[in-house]
Amino acid sequence: MRILVTGKNGQLGRSIHKLVNTDSKIDNNQSSDDFIFVGREELDLSSESSISHYFDNNDKLDIIINCAAYTQVDKAEQEVELANQINHLAVKQLASIANKQQVKLIHISTDYVFDGEGDKPYIETDIPNPINIYGKTKLSGEKALQVVMPMNAIIIRTSWLYSEYGNNFVSTMLRLGKERNELNVVSDQIGSPTYATDLAGTILEIIKNKEFREEDQATQIYHYSNEGEISWYEFAKEIFKIAKIDFKVNPITTQQYPTPAKRPRNTSMNKDKIAEIFSIDTLDWKESLNKGIYCLIASNKYN
């Protein structure tokens, strides 16, 4: 097997790398040597010619896992063209190459394709309606992929990703917990956190799955996050509780914390489909947060 993972320096890319190299998530027919991790130095998604060059000059793959993306939600409002190139046009190009070369593609998308105005957790067939540039470009990527690659691809929408790598909400809270005594956190945006290691494990489960490996499977969208629907305020409070940091968190409204990009109100997603098709256990957010904070503190990455 030859499995390409893009975004090797990102949260998800690094979490897949960690699992592939340290534990039993890969099956007996696979080894860590089957995985090729690339960053923008090897495969620059902002450049059409870099993408073509990479695939023209490397051996055929069996699976591509696209973890690379333009993920700066606020900055995307200014860098519309770059976000669109990486999240939309590059995805279309990857899908077209994968389709031509009969390579399976797993692509990661976001809960921010939804407007957050629903009254129950979103299912995969609900109509997306992104309210910021990041969400719009991610949705364009999903749509282009589905047109170019109607078979043999999987789109996984995830939400509120954190890990022991890079900057994320959990590492930011832990750092601020050292620098300040109190903090205002938005309490009227609801969603579900996702520990990147859990998503990485889910992706490795999927590529082991017999049905996924069969040829000519219709392209599908799945939702995946940890279990539980909370606000950023509740998330922050639990982070300080687990880390045993005595810290005052004050709830505020979105209106009191304006950002360049609008945020959806409630993007909780229903995960029944992925759980049923791939026998995935979606883990409780607090349980995963405990593991995540333990790993973050052990790696000392939030200093």
Ligand X SMILES: NC(=O)c1ccc[n+]([C@@H]2O[C@H](COP(=O)([O-])OP(=O)(O)OC[C@H]3O[C@@H](n4cnc5c(N)ncnc54)[C@H](OP(=O)(O)O)[C@@H]3O)[C@@H](O)[C@H]2O)c1
Active site residues: 134
Residue in 99, 137, 152, 159 binding ligand X, rule: CB under 6 A? 159
Which residues lie across from 155 on neighbouring strands?
107, 221
Tokens (6 digits) for 127: 């109509």
Q: Which is nearer to ligand X, 12 or 148 (CB)?
A: 12
Q: Beta strand 161-162 with 194-195: parallel, antiparallel or unpaired?
A: parallel
Q: Which is nearer to ligand X, 13 or 128 (CB)?
A: 13
Q: Is 166 in the site for ligand X (CB under 6 A)?
A: yes
Of residues 72-111, those binding ligand X (CB under 6 A): 86, 108, 110-111
Biggest distance spanned by C-alpha atoms of the chain: 56
Q: Which is nearer to ligand X, 28 or 205 (CB)?
A: 205
How many other β-carbons are positioned within 10 Å of the β-carbon of residue 131? 18
Of 110, 103, 91, give the one whose Cα is nearest residue 43.
Answer: 91
Of 113 and 249, CB closest to ligand X: 113
Strands 104-110 and 63-66: parallel
Considering the complex, state which of residue 108 and residue 153 has its C-beta at the smaller distance from ligand X.
108
**Gap between the Cα atoms of 287 and 14, Å rounded:** 21
CA distance 254 to 276: 35
State both tokens at 66: 């696209």
Stretch that binds ligand X, among 157-165, 201-209, 270-278, 286-294 (CB under 6 A): 157-165
The residue length of the chain stands at 303
- Kindly list the distances between the CA atom of residue 178 and the CA atoms of 102, 169, 170, 183, in Å, as whole numbers in the listed order: 50, 15, 13, 12
Give yes or no for residue 45 binding ligand X (CB under 6 A): yes
Please identify which residue in 2, 40, 175, 241 interacts with ligand X, judged by CB under 6 A.
40
Query: Which has the closest alpha carbon to 3: 213, 161, 197, 279?
Result: 213
Q: Residue from 158, 189, 202, 288 that binds ligand X (CB under 6 A)?
A: 158
Q: Does 160 bind ligand X (CB under 6 A)?
A: yes
Site for ligand X contains 291 (CB under 6 A) = no
Binding status of residue 11 toward ligand X by CB under 6 A: yes
Enter the DSSP assignment of 247: -
Instruction: Single out the residue of 68, 106, 173, 204 in contact with ligand X (rule: CB under 6 A).
Output: 68
Contact string (CB under 6 A) for ligand X, positions 205-234, x = contact: ------------------------------
**Which positions touch ligand X (CB under 6 A)?**
7, 9-13, 39-40, 44-46, 67-71, 86, 108, 110-111, 138, 158-161, 166
